[in-house]
Structure 1
Amino acid sequence: MGVPIVQQSVQADNKAGEHISLKEKISYGMGDFGNGFMFDLGQLYLLKFFTDVAGVSAGAAAGIFLVSKLFAAICDPVVGSFVDYRKHIGSRGKFRPFLIIGSVILAILTILTFISPNISPTGKLIYAYASYMIWGIGYSIVNIPYGSLGAAITQDTIQRASLSSFRQAGSLGALFVTSVVVMPLILLFPNHHVGYPVVMGIMSLIGVIAFIICYRGTKERIISQSGPKEKLSLGVIVHTFTTNKPLLVLVLMTIFTISAYNIKSALLVYFAEYNLGHVELMAYMNFIIIGSSLLGVLFLPKLVRRFGKRKTAMLGMLVSVIADSINFFMPSNVYIFTILASISFIGISIPNGVTWAFVSDIIDYGEWSSGERKEGITYSLFNFSRKLAQSLSGFLSGIGLALIGYVPNVVQSSGTLLGIKALLCLYPAVALALAMLVIGKMYKLTDSKHAEMVQDLQRRHAENRV
C-alpha cells in the first residue's frame, strides 16, 4: 500500500505545481550553463589545440573526433539504461544526484583532454584518442540525467517551453563566456601547453558550481511507477528506439542541426585568425553574435505559444539558412560578417531551444504508447544523435581543413580562405535546410496531440492508484 500513496501524493503535487517558479527555471538553466563550461571547450578549442599546440595533423584530428564521438554515442544508451533502472531516492530524486558526482568527474576529464604529454607523436595521438573517448563517457554520466530531468519537472507544454528557453539561455550563456574569455586568457600564457589546461581548469570549476546550483534548486515531480519492466538488454534499447517514431524523426533532425551549430562554433576561430587577420577578434565577435542569440531564447516561449513547437523550430531554421547563405557571398568584412552571423545565431538558437521540449514530449509519448516510462534510455538515444552530429561536425571540420590545404600558423592561400568561409557558412545553411524538411514533413507529435496524451496518462495513473 505504500507505493500507491507515494504515487498519489506525487501526482497531486505535479498538478498543483504546473507553474514552475522563476527561481527553479533559473536553477534548471544553470545545469546547461555548467554543461557548457566543459562541453563548449571541446567544441570551440579542442581542434585548434590538437592542430596548433599538440602538433596533430588536421586529418588525424578529424579521426579523433569521429572515433571518440562514435564511441561515446554507443556508450550513451548503456548509461541511459543504467539511469532508468535506478530507483527514485526521496527528496534527492532519480536524476539529480548524478549532477554532483558526474560534474566533478567531467571537470577532471576536461582538463586532461587539453594536456599534450611530452612523448612521441604516436604517443600523443594515442593519448588524444584515449582522453577524449573517456571524456565522452564522463559527459554522458552527467548530461543524460540532466537531460532527463526536464521531463520529470513538469508535463505542461508551455512550462516545458519556458524551461527549454532557460536551458538554452544557460547553454548560450556558457558559450558566450567561453567564447569571449578563454582565448584572451590563454594568450596571457607564453607557453600554450600550460595556458590551455590552466584556463580549462578554471572554466570547469565554474561548471561544477553551476551544477550544484541546479541540483539544489530543482525538484522532480513526475514520478511514474511504469518504469522498465524487462531486464536491461540490447533488445530493450533497440525496441525503445524503433517503436518511438517521433524520436526517430527528432534524431534525424538533430544530426543536421547540431552538426551545423558545431561547425559554426569550431571554424570561427580559424576565420577570425586567417580570413580577418586577428584571432583576438573572435572574442569581440562572439560577444555580439552569442549575445544577440539570446534574443531568440527570450522570445521562444511566446513563439511556441503562438505557432507551436514545430513551426517555431522551422521558423528559426529558415532565418539561419537565409543569413548564412547571404554571409557566404558577402565580402569577408568583420562588421558585415558579425551582423549576419548574429542573425544566424538568433535563428539557430530557436530550434536548439525547442528541442529540449520535444524530448520531454517524446518521453511522454514512449510511456503512452508502450506503458513504460524510460526517461534515461529515451534521452540517451536522442543524445546518440547529438554525438553522431558532433562526430560528423568534428570529422568534417578536420577533413575539410585538410582538403582545402590548411597549414597551421602560416598565411593561407586564397583558396583555403574561401574554403574556411564555405565550411563556416554554406554547410550550416544546407544542413539546416534539410532539418526543416525533416521536421516539417515527418514530425507528427503536435502540441494538441501531446495534451491529449498527458490527459490519458493522468487517467491511467489515477486508475492504477485505485
Structure 2
Amino acid sequence: MKKLTFKHKLGYAMGDLGGCMTFAIVGSFLLPYYTEVVGISAAAVATLFLLARIWDAINDPMMGALLDKRYSKTKDSRGKFRPYLLTGAPLVALTAVLAFFVPGGLSQGGKLIWVYVTYIAYGMTYTFVNIPYGSLLSGMASTAEEKASLSSARGFGAMIGNVLPLVVFPIIIASSTENPQTGYFIGIIGAALVGMAFHLLAYKNTEERISHDTSSSNPVRLTDIIEVVKRNRAFLGISIAGSAAMLSQTLVMTLSVYYFRDNLNALSLMGLSMMVTLPLTLVVLASMPKIVKKIGMEKTAIYSTVLGMGISSILFLFPDNVWLFLAVRATGGTLISVVMFLQWGMIGDAIDYNHYILDKRTEGAIYGSFNFSRRLGQAIGSFFGALSIGLIGYAPSAAVQSATVLGGIRLMTLGAPIAGGLIVLIAIKYVWNIDNELRDKMIEKRNLVMSES
C-alpha cells in the first residue's frame, strides 16, 4: 500500500477548507440576513431551517447509498469519491451566492419562495460534495494513527475555513451599513470563489489508497444501511455524539452574533474571538495524532470533553466580561471541539467495523447516514436558535434589548456547549464499542481481504 504523504494530508485539509468558506457564513449570517435585510420573520426562517433539515434526512443517506451503488457499477478510474469534488465545486459556489441575493421588489410570498429554493439547493449541492469528501478518509487511511492524522488535517482545514470568513465577513458588513445587501453579496461572492478553488485543489491532491469492496457475491444494496443501524454500535455511538456536538455548535454559532452585539456590545470582537482560538486549535490538531497513538481516540475524546466543560462553566460566574469570555471560549470551546475533529477518524473505524461484522464497507451509506445525524443536530440547533430569538421577544429595531432577552441569549449561548458535551460523553462511554484490541482485528481482516483481491 502506498504511503500516506504530506501532500495527501494537505489535499484532504483543502476539502473542508473549501466547504467551510460558505458553510460558516450560511450558519452564522443567513438568519440575520433574512430577518434584518430581507424582512422575513424569525418564525418563518425557523420553519425553513426545520423543513430543509427534514429533506436532509432523505438527501444525505440517499446520496451516500447512491454513491456506493454507482461505483459498484461504473468503477470510475478516478476513484469512488474524488470525482464529486470536481463536479460539485461550482454548484456549491453558485447556490451559496444565490442564497444571499434575494431580488428587490418581490412580495413577501415571492421572498419566501426564493429563500426556500436557494437555501435547500445550497444544502443539496453541499451534500453532493460533502458526503463523498467525508467518505474519502476511509479510502485514504488504514491505521488509527493515519485516521487521526487525516482528522487533524480536516480539522485544520475546517478551522481556517471557519475563521477566515467569520473574521472578514463582519468587517465587510460593517462597512456597508447604508446598503447591507451590497455587503452581504460582495462577502459571499468572495467566500464562494475561494471555497470553489480549494475544493478543486482537494481533488487534485488526494488519492484513494484503499480498495473498495465491489464483490458480486455480496453486492451493494440501497437497503444496506438498515443492517448498519441494527448491528453497528460504533456507528450509533459516533452518530449520537456527532449530533450532540453539532447541535451545541450550531446553536452557539446562530446566537454568537446576538451575544457579541447585544450582550457584550462588542460585535467587532467576534472576529478576534476566532483569532484567539486559532493558535490553541493549531496546538490541539498538531498534538492529536500523537495523543491518539498513546491513549486511543476514545479516551482522547472523553478527557478533552470533560476538561472543556469544566473550563466553560466558569462563564456562568462572570457572563458579561468580554475578555474572560474570549479566553474561556477559546480554551474550553477548543477542548470540547476535539470530538468534532476525532469524529472523522471514528466514523472511519465504524466503516471498518461494518466490514468486520457484515463483510461490507458501504462507505457512502454509512457516512451519509452519519452526516444526517449531524444535520439533525444542526437542524435542532438552527430551529431552536431562530425560534427562541422570537420567543424571548427579540426586537430587531431596538437599540437596546430587554433584560429578559439578554438573559435568554446568555443562557443558551453559555449552556449549549456543556449540555452537548454531556451527551457526547454518554455516547462514547456507553454506546461506542471499539477498543484497540478490536481495532487490530478489523485491520487484520481488511488487509487479508485486500491481499486476496
Give the TM-score category using the shorter length: over 0.9
Q: Is 1:117 the equivalent of 2:106? A: no
Instruction: Choose which of 124, 130, 134 in structure 1 pairs with 2:117.
Output: 130
Separation of aligned partners in 1, 2:281 and 2:251: 17
- The residue identity in structure 1 corresponding to 2:53 is K
Contact 2:236-2:432 at 8 Å conserved across structures: no
**Matched residue, 2:432:** 443
Report which stretch shifted further, 276-285 or 426-435.
276-285
Contact 1:293-1:345 at 8 Å conserved across structures: no
Contact 1:76-1:383 at 8 Å conserved across structures: yes
- The residue identity in structure 1 corresponding to 2:173 is I
Report which stretch shifted further, 277-286 or 209-218.
277-286
Identity across matched positions, percent: 30
Separation of aligned partners in 2, 1:386 and 1:73: 10
Question: Deviation digits for residues 305-337 of structure 1, max 9, x if unmatched?
Answer: 222101111122112212322113314121011
What is the TM-score with the length of structure 1 in the denominator? 0.92
Separation of aligned partners in 1, 2:119 and 2:446: 41
Gaps of 5+ in 2: none
Quote the offset at 1:295 in angstroms.
2.6
Separation of aligned partners in 1, 2:436 and 2:155: 20
Q: Is 1:162 the equivalent of 2:146? A: no
Q: Is 1:208 the equivalent of 2:170? A: no
Instruction: Choose which of 293, 299, 303 in structure 2 pairs with 1:311.
Output: 299
**Matched residue, 1:23:** 7
**Matched residue, 2:269:** 281
**Matched residue, 1:89:** 76
Q: Is 1:453 the equivalent of 2:442? A: yes
Quote the offset at 1:227 in angstroms.
5.8
Q: Is 1:400 the equivalent of 2:385? A: no
Separation of aligned partners in 1, 2:44 and 2:286: 40
Cα distance change of structure 1 residues 290 and 390 upon mapping to structure 2, 3 Å threshold: farther
Separation of aligned partners in 2, 1:350 and 1:341: 14
Cα distance change of structure 1 residues 227 and 193 upon mapping to structure 2, 3 Å threshold: farther
Contact 1:80-1:144 at 8 Å conserved across structures: yes
**Matched residue, 2:416:** 427
Quote the offset at 1:197 in angstroms.
2.1
What is the TM-score with the length of structure 2 in the denominator? 0.94
Quote the offset at 1:154 in angstroms.
2.0
Contact 2:152-2:341 at 8 Å conserved across structures: yes
- Corresponding pairs, count: 446
Separation of aligned partners in 2, 1:354 and 1:240: 21
Question: Deviation digits for residues 222-257 of structure 1, max 9, x if unmatched?
Answer: 113346845644x33323333322111111111111
RMSD, matched Cα: 1.7
Separation of aligned partners in 2, 1:332 and 1:249: 36
**Matched residue, 1:328:** 316
Separation of aligned partners in 1, 2:192 and 2:165: 11
Separation of aligned partners in 1, 2:392 and 2:304: 30
Q: Is 1:219 the equivalent of 2:207? A: yes
Contact 2:141-2:150 at 8 Å conserved across structures: no
What SS does the corresponding residue of 2:267 show, helix, strand or coil? coil
Instruction: Choose which of 59, 69, 73 in structure 2 pairs with 1:75.
Output: 59
What SS does the corresponding residue of 1:89 show, helix, strand or coil? coil
Separation of aligned partners in 2, 1:383 and 1:287: 28
What SS does the corresponding residue of 1:95 show, helix, strand or coil? coil
What SS does the corresponding residue of 1:277 show, helix, strand or coil? coil
Quote the offset at 1:291 in angstroms.
4.3
Separation of aligned partners in 1, 2:380 and 2:325: 25
Contact 2:148-2:342 at 8 Å conserved across structures: yes
Quote the offset at 1:201 in angstroms.
1.1
Separation of aligned partners in 2, 1:293 and 1:460: 38
Contact 1:292-1:346 at 8 Å conserved across structures: yes
Cα distance change of structure 1 residues 227 and 77 upon mapping to structure 2, 3 Å threshold: farther
Quote the offset at 1:461 in angstroms.
3.4
Cα distance change of structure 1 residues 360 and 318 upon mapping to structure 2, 3 Å threshold: same
Contact 2:228-2:235 at 8 Å conserved across structures: no
**Matched residue, 2:138:** 151
- Map 1:140-289 → 2, pairs under 5 A: 140-189=127-176, 190-226=178-214, 229-230=218-219, 232-233=221-222, 235-289=223-277
